[in-house]
Amino acid sequence: MSEPAVDPSVAADAAPAGPVRDTGGGPEAHREGHGGPGTAALVIGAIGVVFGDIGTSPLYTLKEAFGHAYGLAPTHDNVLGVLSLVFWALIGIVSVKYVTVMMRADNRGEGGVLALAALVQRHLPIAAPLAYVTGVLGIFATALFFGDGVITPAISVLGAVEGLEVAAPALHPYIVPLAIAVLLVLFAFQFLGTGKVGKVFGPITGLWFAAIAAAGVGGIVRNPEVLQAFNPAWAVGFFLHHGVVAWVALGAVVLAVTGGEALYADMGHFGRRAIRLGWFGFVMPCLLLNYLGQGALLLADPAAVKNPFYLLLPSGALAPMIVLATLAAVIASQALISGTYSVVRQAIQLGYLPRMRIVHTSDDTEGQIYLPSINRWLLAAVMLTVVGFGSSSALAVAYGVSVTGTMIISGVLLLILARVRWRTPRWVLWTAGFAMLAVDVAFFSANLVKFFDGAWFPLALGLGAFVLMRTWHRGRLLVREQVNRDSLRIEHLVKSLMASPPARVPGTAVFLTPSNAFTPPALLHNLKHNKVLHACNVLLSVQVLTVPRAEPDDRVSLEPIGHGFWRMTLRFGFVEDPHVPRALKALKLVEPDVNPMTTTFFASREALVASKGEGMALWRDKLFLLLSRNATPATEFFSIPGNQLVELGMQVRI
């Protein structure tokens, strides 16, 4: 996004996206209108998918707040102070920031930090320094999200399985192997698709929230004094009494709001109305009841701090709750895995990751996808994380950095959008912005002080993903610049060809090119080696826009160059499948005749060579070459039939 939001591949990738009408609406407008699923069905679906991450936070939040990492004793005032912080964090960060405000910042119905960055860029001048900064922030937040995608499945499943230790302490050695087994099964069934996996596990989420609420009510009834935690004076007093220790303890409090970003990111699947109804009407009350119930238990029995979630339960309910918690953790993991697939596809479409094989697992739901290579890498990373950290307590120390880092970046992008799009008065912007960012920075800094205790891990994951994404994007720009530098303007070539016309053969040739202003290398090679020219020649570029879906009127632009040459641009949104033959067939053009069944496609396949002193640093050049060699060919990514494709090689030095 720091440059045009596209993947400038020489073979056929997207050209720079031009201005697009911001018509609003988007998927949500259709979904909640006539013909879409009912609101009740959407709310139930959102409860089953969107709230899985934040819904499993009670497994470990209070246990970690009073764990050895912070040195806080579960005294009367400390328990009420921490509970008050948890309550107001849920209100301020999740309810106000994400559910109420952030969901107004939709990119034609789509949410998530990458969609938000694209939306902000669309309202800034292309060459503005702020547009560059916005792009970099969007990439880094996306990189941090990938770190969250590794840690969430590990900590959720570990936290659930650790309930076995409460029932039988002798089972401690089997916790990690059992967690690995659960995760292996989860990743093994990803090929079935989110929809089928969700139908199996989705209803369990509603039962999970009802169960934790019931457990919490039992604790509150036994000790209603815990309801004092709603008073913010307890949170203020906690800070005044403990000072620096209270600030560091925010690193545990933030565990209660992990998953808030997922509510915004999944807005495109269910719509803001369904998510808001699900949160305020069901999920948040259930979470608060459980946290209060755990707090009531700690007020009565401070020794229960070793695992207040499971010790809150009657002995007969322990085993069923362990099973239910494990299933809920699997659902939470599924939400992050599916979210990772979606974000990776957006990053590929916008030109920040190499093309990969994308499997569509549903014939009628476009967003349900499966990426085999990402599934393998994610499984390996999660397994190593489980083995390396060994417990949810160890992972909790590392968990908050990526989450709070993303919170800060999304907050900054929201403030920019509020100024350039919503025209929010400066005094409102500065007041609200300072309050929001002060909270986010406090949580981030509290987690950052645990750098050497494990917080380095998500930062390392995020930094690695950031370097990879920036290297790929920069490398594709360098390749494109090099190819354009060595190419003629297409008008000049046509003029020179007509001076001494080559032999023409019947049919249509479609030349895939990143920039249809220049002569495609494949066209020159075809003339050089075959010494013929087709009767109709179409220079086709594919643009990936900074909107989720291209409007029908924006889908294609067509311009005659003369003498049987045409310049065509196909446009796709960043959540659409760029199926070129299907898009061409849907155009039903009379001239030029681009019926995919009677058309030959030509593409250039570049052989890249790294050069010292040119382009990027040599190590980044080599990284880019490695990524290029393992990327799915553009022709396959755009679904070009192999029996209608001619590829011609060329060497490009970067």
Q: Which pLDDT belongs to residue 6?
A: 36
The residues facing 542 across adjacent strands are: 14, 570
Q: Judge if 138 and 260 occupy the same domain.
A: yes
Q: For the packed helices 372-389 and 392-420, what is the interaxial angle rounded to 10 degrees?
A: 130
Question: Under a CB-based contact definition with an 8 Å cutoff, are residues 55 and 332 in contact?
Answer: yes
In whole angstroms, how far apart are CA 337 and each of 56, 64, 330, 506, 582?
Answer: 15, 25, 10, 49, 29
Please state the domain count of the chain. 2
Q: What is the pLDDT of residue 21?
A: 39
Asked, for residue 211, whether it belongs to a domain, the answer is: yes
The parts of the chain modelled with pLDDT lower than 50 are 1-36
Run of H or E including 608: strand 599-609
What pLDDT was estimated at residue 601? 92
pLDDT computed for residue 201 by the predictor: 66
Domain membership of residue 323 as a residue range: 37-454
- Burial class for 636, CB neighbours closer than 10 Å (0-12, 13-18, 19+): middle
Q: Rounded CA gap, 364 and 518, in Å?
A: 38
Domain ends where: 454, 470, 491? 454
Burial of 349 (0-12, 13-18, 19+ CB in 10 A): buried
Q: Residue 442's pLDDT is what? A: 93
Residues 263 and 155 in one domain: yes
Q: What angle do CA 130, 136, 139 make, to 5 degrees?
A: 140
Long-range contacts of 439-443 (CB under 8 A, 24+ apart): 439/92, 439/93, 440/93, 440/404, 440/407, 440/408, 440/411, 441/408, 442/247, 442/250, 443/250, 443/251, 443/253, 443/254, 443/400, 443/404, 443/407
Rg of the Cα trace of the chain?
27
What is the dihedral sign for C-alpha 355, 356, 362, 365?
A: negative
**Domain presence at residue 186:** yes
Phi, psi of 17 (to 5 degrees): -75, 130
- Per residue in 159-173, pLDDT tens? 888 888 877 788 888
Q: What is the pLDDT of residue 571?
A: 93
| Pair 448, 483 in one domain | no
User: Residue 195: its pLDDT value, please?
Assistant: 60
Residue 364 CA, chain-centre distance (Å), reads 22
* Chain centroid, CA 179 distance in Å: 25
pLDDT digits (tens, 9 = 90+) for 100-113: 999 988 888 888 88
Q: What is the CA 585 to chain-centroid distance, rounded?
A: 31
**Residue 119 near residue 417 (C-beta atoms within 8 A):** yes
pTM of the model: 0.80
In single-letter form, the type of residue at position 548 comes to: P
Is 459 part of a structural domain of the chain?
Answer: no
Q: Cα dihedral angle (388, 393, 398, 399), rounded to 10 degrees?
A: 110
Q: DSSP string spanning 159-211?
A: HHHTHHHHH-GGGGGGHHHHHHHHHHHHHHTGGG-HHHHHHHHHHHHHHHHHH
Same domain, 536 and 394: no
Instruction: State whether 232 and 83 are in the same domain.
Output: yes
Residue 651 phi, psi (nearest 5): -105, 135
For 90, the enclosing helix (H) or strand (E) is none
Residues 352 and 224 placed together within one structural domain of the fold: yes
Same domain, 392 and 283: yes
Q: Residue 91: what pLDDT?
A: 95
Predicted pLDDT of residue 377:
92
Q: Does the residue 5 lie in any domain?
A: no
Same domain, yes or no: 156 and 112:
yes
User: Does residue 359 form part of some domain?
Assistant: yes
Provide the 3-class DSSP secondary structure of residue 539.
Answer: strand
Which residue among 437, 454, 471 closes a domain?
454
Q: Are 371 and 512 in a shared domain? A: no
With respect to residue 467, please indicate whether it lies within any of the assigned structural domains.
no
Amino acid letter for position 629: R
From CA 277, how far away is CA 284, in angstroms rounded? 10
Instruction: Say if CB 421 and CB 427 are below 8 A apart.
Output: no
CA distance 438 to 16: 37
Residue 178 lies in a domain: yes
**What pLDDT shows up at residue 565?**
94
Cis peptide before 302 (omega within 30 of 0): no
Q: What is the pLDDT of residue 527?
A: 87
DSSP 8-class letter at 12: T
* 43 shares its domain with 160: yes
Question: What is residue 11's predicted lDDT score, i.e. its pLDDT?
Answer: 37
Domain identity same for 438 and 489: no
Residues 498 and 448 occupy one common structural domain: no
Q: CATH number for the domain including 271?
A: 1.20.1740.10
**Could you tell me if residue 590 is inside a domain?**
yes
Model pLDDT for residues 2-24, shown as the tens digit of each residue: 433 333 333 334 433 433 334 34
3-class state of residue 254 by DSSP = helix
pLDDT at 279: 94
Q: Are 610 and 479 in contact (CB under 8 A)?
A: no
- Nearest Cα neighbor of 548 from 142, 119, 195 is 119
SS (H, E, C) 318-372: HHHHHHHHHHHHHHHHHHHHHHHHHHHHHHHHCCCCCCCCCEECCCCCCCCEECH
